Amino acid sequence: MDFELSEELRAIRDTARDFAAERMLPQAARWDAECIFPVEILREAATLGFGGITVRDDVGGSGLSRLGAAVIFEELAAACTSTAAYISIHNMAAWMIDRYGSEAQRRRFLPDLTAMRSFASYCLTEPGAGSDAAALQTRAERQGDHYRVNGTKAFISGGGVSDVYVVMVRTGGSGPGGISTLVVEKGTAGLSFGKQEKKLGWNSQPTAQVILEDARVPVANRLGAEGDGFKIAMAGLDGGRINIGACSIGAARACLDATREHMGQRSQFGRKLAEFQALQFKFADMATELEAARLMIQRAAAKLDAGAEDATLHCAMAKRLATDAGFAICNDALQLHGGYGYLKDFPIERYLRDARVHQILEGTNEIMRVIIARRMLAP
């Protein structure tokens, strides 16, 4: 088993790290404070291949592995976790079109998505169907060559700004077997958006309800067959969980690096913080948890790349561990900074706020535990 990145992946990592440090980090605090969606920076990221990381190259994608994606998202999130997480969601939606769309759909939507001339959102959660995603109520009734769609999606990253919405709808009976996936384009009659949500973190990406009222969506915009939607949604989430876990690792790594510097500079009782054994032990635990989380994310990515039968299990395990550990490391970093960590003059509080939601989205960590237990305890 090789724990080292290949030469190609190291080069990709270095490219992402340089871009994040030079183009994202200097502006991240302003994006957060002013709730700026950094469209031009996102399009710059796309020129490096980050708009369609796992999308095939015949439509402008980079065709990279899930491991490659995890490496990229860690680096981007170490600069601006919120923006990196939006890029992750955009990539998840683009991959779903690439993997499950027809050739006509791929060539229609993906060139603009991979270049980030267009932006994409993933629409599964509803006001009354969060963790119980299979209970979604958004209804699509087929009428000739169109569906008439009614329902509301909640907490949608990119809501109101994105150009393409990959929406899970109910075309059949109750349960997962009655769900289908439609690509709904901005400008569709009957498509509207709720107010922009005011959030604890993730301020560099817009979040709003996506509202469908007698929206007419062409049957030609359906991904896969009727009834395939839940399977498509869950496949998207396997990769999304790896990516968001990698974003947590990036945030935690940035906080750990800041803490190392702070402990070497700050003195109390006539000694550097780095000389106190209690703080050394805390720092050692943070570094160890970070390394363990990274290894689990990379193993889950390798499982997904290999098409392993237990890939979903490992994606759930990795997401649970990485997002819990990532937030805990950010929180411990704030504590080790003392009062300075609580100030917006320092970046720790921004990483803390941005990382917190990772324990909720792409399936809450409670649902990750349900997935893990069911798969391991099944007879």
Tokens 């109101």 -> residue: 160
Residue pair 372/317 in contact (Cβ under 8 Å)? The answer is yes
Establish whether 291 is a catalytic residue.
no
> Beta-carbon neighbour count of residue 87 at 10 Å?
26
Q: What b/e sequence results for 8-36 when a residue is b if at least 16 CB atoms lie within 10 Å of its CB, and e otherwise?
A: ebeebbeebbebbeebbeebbeebbeeee
From the list 299, 289, 350, 346, the residue with the least C-alpha distance to 322 is: 289
CB-based contacts of 358, cutoff 8 Å, min separation 6 = 85, 244, 245, 247, 248, 323, 326, 327
Residue pair 187/165 in contact (Cβ under 8 Å)? The answer is no
CA distances from 259 to 76, 247, 249, 338, 340 (A): 19, 18, 15, 11, 11
- Which residue in 103, 275, 362, 366 is the catalytic one? 362
Active-site residues, by number, are: 362
